[in-house]
Structure formats: structure tokens, C-alpha cells
Amino acid sequence: MLQRCGQCGTYNFFPKPWCIECGSRDLPWVDAKPSGTIYSFTVSRVVAMNYPAWERELPVVVALLNLDDGPRMYAQVIGCAPESIFIGQRVVACFEPLGSGLVIPKFRPQTDESSSAPAGQR
Ligand SMILES: [Zn+2]
């Protein structure tokens, strides 16, 4: 979900108390398209910021994504070899449980199957 301005329709990300375009405080949460395109990315082959939980995931790909609804966000790209990732690649969201009901959005390369499956089944 993303905040979408009720006055001008702009999607706001990160969440904010007012619209980045018109200043309105009418920012309901709406369903967002779970897909985007890689704008840029980096591959980390060492643990970042001494955070040991990343060690089991190395190498970690962190990408700057253009979401299909407009906002740009950072996210981890998983489910593929880092060498196969490229700028302009289509990706779809998947949600990794962190425990206590929390999930983190990550992205996988889009395949023919992932582009046609309902969002909850990816
Ligand atoms: Zn607005």
C-alpha cells in the first residue's frame, strides 16, 4: 500500500503527514501495483554496518526501484544471481516475514508467471 493524495492524486513515499506536491493532509492508503523497474543497483559482498543477520544472505543486491505507481524506493532484490540483474529490469514485490506479524517488501525479477499471478500469490 502507498499513500495517495486525495486532492492531486500523487503517490507519496516515504509516508508523510502532507502531500509532497500540493501540501494536502488528505493522504489515504491505497492498494499499490506490486511491480516496478530497476533504476540502479549495487551488490554488497560484505556485511554492511556490522549487521550480522545479512551474513547468511550475501551477496546482497540493493536496488533503487521506480515503482509502477510513480514513487522511487530502495529494496533488496532476491531470487536471482546478482550477475543477472540489470538496469531497466522488471521486478515484482514479495513479502518476507520478520516475525510478530511484520513483513518487509523485497523484489524478485518478473517472470511471465509472476506478471499474471494475483498479488497475494507471489
Ligand atoms: Zn497532493
Q: Please tell me the distance between residue 50's alpha carbon and the centre of ligand 1 in angstroms.
A: 39
Sign of the CA dihedral running 34, 14, 73, 51: negative
**Residues 46 and 72 occupy one common structural domain:** yes
44, three cell numbers: 554488497
CATH assignment at residue 53: 2.40.50
Domain count, the chain: 2
Domain interval for residue 2: 1-32
Q: Please tell me the distance between residue 61's alpha carbon and the centre of ligand 1 in angstroms.
A: 33
pLDDT at residue 122 in the model? 42
pLDDT at residue 117 in the model? 52
Q: Fill in the amino acid letter for 53.
A: A
Is residue 61 domain-resident?
Answer: yes
Taking a C-beta distance cutoff of 8 angstroms, is the pair 8, 26 a contact?
A: no
**Residues 37 and 78 occupy one common structural domain:** yes
Q: Please tell me the distance between residue 1's alpha carbon and the centre of ligand 1 in angstroms.
A: 17
pLDDT at residue 1 in the model? 92
Q: CA-CA distance, 115 to 89, in Å (whole number)?
A: 13
Is residue 118 domain-resident?
Answer: no
Q: Please tell me the distance between residue 53's alpha carbon and the centre of ligand 1 in angstroms.
A: 38
Q: Fill in the amino acid letter for 6.
A: G
Q: Please tell me the distance between residue 29's alpha carbon and the centre of ligand 1 in angstroms.
A: 13
**Residues 26 and 44 occupy one common structural domain:** no
Q: Fill in the amino acid letter for 90.
A: R
**Residues 107 and 59 occupy one common structural domain:** yes
Query: In which residue ranges of the chain is pLDDT below 50?
Result: 119-122
Sign of the CA dihedral running 66, 32, 13, 27: positive
pLDDT in tens, 72-93: 999 999 999 999 999 999 999 9
pLDDT at residue 53 in the model? 74
DSSP 3-state of 92: strand
pLDDT at residue 47 in the model? 81
Is residue 83 domain-resident?
Answer: yes
pLDDT at residue 110 in the model? 95
β-sheet with 11-12: strand ranges across: 11-12, 2-4, 29-30
